[in-house]
Amino acid sequence: TKGAEAGLQENLKQLVDRGYKAHWLSADEAAAQLGTDTWHGAIMDTRGGTVQPFGYSRGLCRAAQQEGAQVFGASPVSEVKREGGKWVVRTPRGSVRADRVLLATNAYTGFHSPGLNDQLARSIIPAASFLVATEPLSDNLQKTILPEGQCFSDSRKFLLYGRKDAAGRMLLGGRGFLREPKSRRDFKHVEKALRQAYPMLSDLKFTHHWSGRIAVTRDYLPHVHEPEPGLMMALGYTGRGVALATALGGAMGTYAATGDKGHLPLPVTPITPIPFHGARAIYAGAIFAWYRALDALAN
Ligand SMILES: Cc1cc2nc3c(=O)[nH]c(=O)nc-3n(C[C@H](O)[C@H](O)[C@H](O)COP(=O)(O)OP(=O)(O)OC[C@H]3O[C@@H](n4cnc5c(N)ncnc54)[C@H](O)[C@@H]3O)c2cc1C
């Protein structure tokens, strides 16, 4: 929005001051990159790129296996306990003993095994983000919308983010609810946002709908904890964890191998549960309403 430009210009200044290659796009320049004149200007950050996150996860998994790691899917951990000088991690089908354990369950902490790590689960707000994808765009639209495979996010409180996928579908993500979606009807607001932002795509069918959870922390920063020696935790990427969690994972691995906290980019802090966490649906509802009002006023 027009009102957001001052804040974005300040963000841009901070990026440039730190030596990053980023520059301002006027409304016309932004429209040429985005393929729509919905937005009034933009920051172009040329460091960016896109990945298919599931493919990326599988690639990381394969790389770890090639280095000798064993990966067990569909094995929800139900207990992590200190026994005989080791950590024992129990699942319904077996257990693992280890000197060090890293809990990296992010927004799904306590989701598969309620009650496990209750303190940790209460240190984040697990918010859902909902996405939709259209059928593939025509060749003409491919040439005008995000022609170089750019991705974007906007500046509203409930930000919209989008890109095209390898098949040329338009993907748009936006606000979800605190609960999982129950039907396609729950995605109507994201479909509407896509049609508003890209009116030329209004005739396309929505072929895919999905959602996932992000872990929001009170300070919007990731947190590292080690409440007992060898029991390590890293979480709270507030929707930015694809690169961040990968980088922090590497640092946590080095810390686990060396015991040297100097390898960690963040301090190890005590777990701090969010006050009145059980009532989060109520206060998140109030915050959602307030954010919606701010977005409506800004548009
Ligand atoms: C819709 C959506 C869009 C996003 N877009 C972006 C983006 O554009 N850029 C970006 O940087 N980030 C984005 N994110 C955020 C990013 O996906 C996360 O920050 C990142 O995945 C965090 O990585 P992680 O490994 O810590 O946690 P996750 O990837 O969430 O993995 C946690 C894993 O722990 C498992 N788990 C939980 N409990 C147990 C248990 N008891 N036993 C065993 N396993 C358990 C879960 O099944 C899950 O597989 C997005 C997230 C969503 C949901």
pLDDT tens figures, 171-217: 999 988 777 899 999 999 999 999 999 999 999 999 999 999 999 99
Ligand 1 mutation pick, 154, 179, 214, max ligand atoms within 8 A of CB = 214
Task: Tell me how far the alpha carbon of residue 213 lies from the centroid of ligand 1, in angstroms.
Answer: 7
Q: Which atom of ligand 1 is nearest to the CA of 211?
A: 1
Give me the domain span that covers residue 75: 54-124+218-287
- What sign has the CA pseudo-torsion 74, 80, 84, 86? positive
Q: What does each C-alpha distance from 84 to 81, 97, 99, 259 come to in angstroms?
A: 10, 10, 11, 20
Q: Inform me whether the pLDDT recorded for 13 exceeds 90.
A: yes
Give the pair of three-digit tokens for residue 130: 């909902």
Task: Tell me how far the alpha carbon of residue 215 lies from the centroid of ligand 1, in angstroms.
Answer: 8
Residue 102 forms part of a structural domain? yes
Residue 186 forms part of a structural domain? no
CA distance linking residue 237 with residue 254, whole number of Å: 20
Same domain assignment for residues 114 and 223: yes
Residue 163 is predicted with a pLDDT of 97
Q: Inform me whether the pLDDT recorded for 26 exceeds 90.
A: yes
Same domain assignment for residues 30 and 74: no
For ligand 1, say whether the CB of 76 is within 6 Å of any of its atoms. Answer: yes
For ligand 1, say whether the CB of 120 is within 6 Å of any of its atoms. Answer: no
Q: Inform me whether the pLDDT recorded for 294 exceeds 60.
A: no
Residue 209 is predicted with a pLDDT of 97
For ligand 1, say whether the CB of 112 is within 6 Å of any of its atoms. Answer: yes
Q: What does each C-alpha distance from 299 to 70, 192, 295 come to in angstroms?
A: 50, 15, 6
Residue 87 forms part of a structural domain? yes
pLDDT tens figures, 79-120: 999 999 999 999 999 999 999 999 999 999 988 877 778 999
Same domain assignment for residues 61 and 43: no
Same domain assignment for residues 58 and 90: yes
Same domain assignment for residues 61 and 99: yes
Same domain assignment for residues 33 and 69: no
Same domain assignment for residues 232 and 279: yes
Residue 153 forms part of a structural domain? no
Ligand 1 mutation pick, 242, 244, 252, max ligand atoms within 8 A of CB = 242
| Neighbour order of strands in the sheet with 231-235 | 101-103, 231-235, 223-228
Task: Tell me how far the alpha carbon of residue 108 lies from the centroid of ligand 1, in angstroms.
Answer: 7
Ligand 1 mutation pick, 80, 93, 106, max ligand atoms within 8 A of CB = 106
User: How many domains are contained in the chain?
Assistant: 2
DSSP label of 113:
S
Q: Which atom of ligand 1 is nearest to the CA of 215?
A: 19
Residue 52 is predicted with a pLDDT of 94
Task: Tell me how far the alpha carbon of residue 203 lies from the centroid of ligand 1, in angstroms.
Answer: 33
Q: Looking at this predicted complex, what is its ipTM? A: 0.98
Average pLDDT, the chain: 91
